[in-house]
Amino acid sequence: MNFDTIREHPVWETVPPLAAMTAVGALLSIIFLLVGGVWFADSWLVSVFRKGGPVMWPILFCSILAVAICLERAYSLRNENIVDPSFAAEVRRLSAKGDLDRALKICANNPSAMARILKAGLNRASHGILEIERAIEAAGSHEATLMEANLRGLGVLANITPMMGLLGTVIGMIKAFDVISVAGSGNPSLVASGIAEALITTATGLIIGIPALAAYHYFRGRVDKFIYDMEEESLFFVEDLIKAMENFEATHKVADSPHEV
């Protein structure tokens, strides 16, 4: 089953908790930066930040967002929140035995994404295998959307922070050449501030962008693995349900058939 084929559940249902968790991450990042700024007010780091010029502020803002998204995704994409193999095996065992009520109860008490997918299928068990598969695909697509939340934003931040650094480089070089045009090139110290600004913003943009890009691909890999695991568990679950239904029908046919004399 491909969870990317159907997206019936509205994405806006997932926005409030995700936005809240991202906001908490951003708040923690801001507090850390403020405390660090006060603690290291006279340090070289603050001095370098000031030398970087006005472009350093949007780069700083992007770094706060990137840290917030990484914290939120690290918390959300834990194994216990997505796929619990022991739980899935228990639900499959009960489904294969035909004990769907107990399997549904176990799913309702489990907070993982896999539980919500299997629960959607069990709720449609009385409507046949086709409806079960449709419900599982729809629920799986919804969970895939949840897991991918904020990753696109992290990818954007990873791309634009080096571009902001490049913008700072251009601004710094413009200042340096402007000083040269006014005072000449006899005194290199006059253009040092512009060149320093150019180099600092480039370095800062790369320092933020490279880890953000690495984090994006790390979380992207985890999402892909979780989607594969959920598809595999869902396929096994449907196969167990089909076997249970076939056994149920075969048992009732034998019970309803006339006894041979």
Residue 105: which region, alpha, beta or left (left: phi > 0; alpha: psi -120 to 50)?
alpha
Q: Confirm if 113 and 146 have CB atoms less than 8 A apart.
A: yes
pLDDT-above-90 percentage for the chain: 38
Surface-to-core class of residue 157, CB atoms within 10 Å of its CB (0-12 exposed, 13-18 middle, 19+ buried): buried
Distance, C-alpha 133 to centroid of its chain:
25
| Residue ranges of domains in the chain | 11-246
Task: Read off the pTM.
Answer: 0.75
- pLDDT (tens digit per residue) in 145-191: 999 988 999 999 999 999 999 999 898 888 888 877 776 665 676 67
- 90 secondary structure, DSSP code: H
Cα–Cα distance measured from residue 42 to residue 153, given in angstroms and rounded to the nearest whole number:
33
More confident of the two residues 33 and 135: 135
- In single-letter form, the type of residue at position 17 comes to P
Q: Where are the beta strands (DSSP E) in the chain?
A: none
